[in-house]
Amino acid sequence: MTEIVSLEALTGRIAPGQSLAIPVATAGVSMAATAALIDAGITRLKLICVPTSGMQADLLIGAGAVASIETSAVSLGEAGGAPRFNAAVRAGSFALSDSICPAILAGLLAAQKGVPFMPIAGIIGSDLLKVRPDWKVIDSPVGGDKVVVVPAITPDVALFHAPEADRAGNIRIGRHRELAAIAYAAKSTLVTVERIVERDLLATEDSAAGVLPSLYVDAVAVAERGAWPLPLWDEYESDGAEIARYAAMARTEEGFRAYLSAFLTRRKEVA
């Protein structure tokens, strides 16, 4: 049964060394949980970006919380490159598994289906195959061209933010079905939300169509404006000025530390 817990209790379920699946910046990123993890001193996380990340990954990397990352990209979008990610790559501070969006999604699908791998097309001949020995080129078992198979991706924890949950732990994810894909593949799913609603989100066909059932959710915590400064669908837009400020400050280690301290303080004040 899904538990409704405090933010600190929710992030306390994420242990050092675990693999953590996080969504793309526009899909519902739990920046509140990210701040709580950093504040608690989490280390050795194995980030799985589904399929890319931005400020969330950059903060965790800059805070020294990441041991490895699998991603298609880490970028701040219009604010430019992710400075702490870029610096860490140059320094070799973590293990980087370069990927593409279809491969990450296919790996999650394999885990969801309980199979060891999933075939994908379109990357035979790519230099990526030289740096991903875990991706294998095989003859198609049903004839035709060769295919690439990618291993299943089974995150220890999926973490994201959504507008609302009901008392049973059902989560409204709307059209963001990638959040369901992460939850289906992960061993545990933790969600922060803007609010808990009293109505049953599965009560009608119309509402249930955009809901992740509580069967796939281990714990929920309320975190108002929990995605800020990133956007949350129709709830609030991204804070472009804040992201640009981060991008400028995080170009240096000293600037990053100053930004991080203020960011953690602000998140505590919101909580």
In this model, does residue 125 exceed pLDDT 90? Answer: no
pLDDT in tens, 48-71: 999 999 999 999 999 999 999 999
Rounding to the nearest 10 degrees, give the CA dihedral for residues 55, 61, 62, 64.
150
pLDDT in tens, 2-52: 999 999 999 999 999 999 999 999 999 999 999 999 999 999 999 999 999
Q: Which residues pair with 211 in a beta bridge?
A: 172
Contact (Cβ atoms closer than 8 angstroms) between residue 247 and residue 80: yes
Look-up: residue for tokens 């291993």?
151
Position 157 scores a pLDDT of 98
Position 262 scores a pLDDT of 96
Position 271 scores a pLDDT of 63
Q: Encoding tokens for residue 208?
A: 């249930």
In this model, does residue 1 exceed pLDDT 90? Answer: no
Look-up: residue for tokens 């991903």?
132
Q: Which residues pair with 98 in a beta bridge?
A: 71
Q: How many CB atoms lie within 10 A of CB 17?
A: 11
Rounding to the nearest 10 degrees, give the CA dihedral for residues 24, 27, 33, 39.
40
In this model, does residue 267 exceed pLDDT 90? Answer: no
At residue 217's C-alpha, the angle toward residues 120 and 211, to 5°, is 75
Half-sphere exposure of 179 (CA within 13 A, CB side): 27
Contact (Cβ atoms closer than 8 angstroms) between residue 152 and residue 111: yes
Contact (Cβ atoms closer than 8 angstroms) between residue 19 and residue 156: yes
Residues of the chain with CATH 3.40.1080.10: 3-99+153-270
Say which DSSP state 205 is in: H
Q: How many CB atoms lie within 10 A of CB 1?
A: 8
pLDDT in tens, 130-152: 999 999 999 988 888 899 999 99
For 118-125, what is the mean pLDDT? Answer: 90
**Can you spell out the DSSP letters for 183-204?**
HHHSSEEEEEEEEEESS-TTSS
Position 270 scores a pLDDT of 73
* Distance, C-alpha 135 to centroid of its chain: 22
Mean residue pLDDT across the chain: 96
pLDDT in tens, 166-207: 999 999 999 999 999 999 999 999 999 999 999 999 999 988
Position 269 scores a pLDDT of 80
CATH number given to 3-99+153-270: 3.40.1080.10
Position 143 scores a pLDDT of 82
Parallel, antiparallel or unpaired: strands 211-212 and 171-172: antiparallel
Look-up: residue for tokens 């995150």?
155
Rounding to the nearest 10 degrees, give the CA dihedral for residues 105, 108, 112, 116.
120
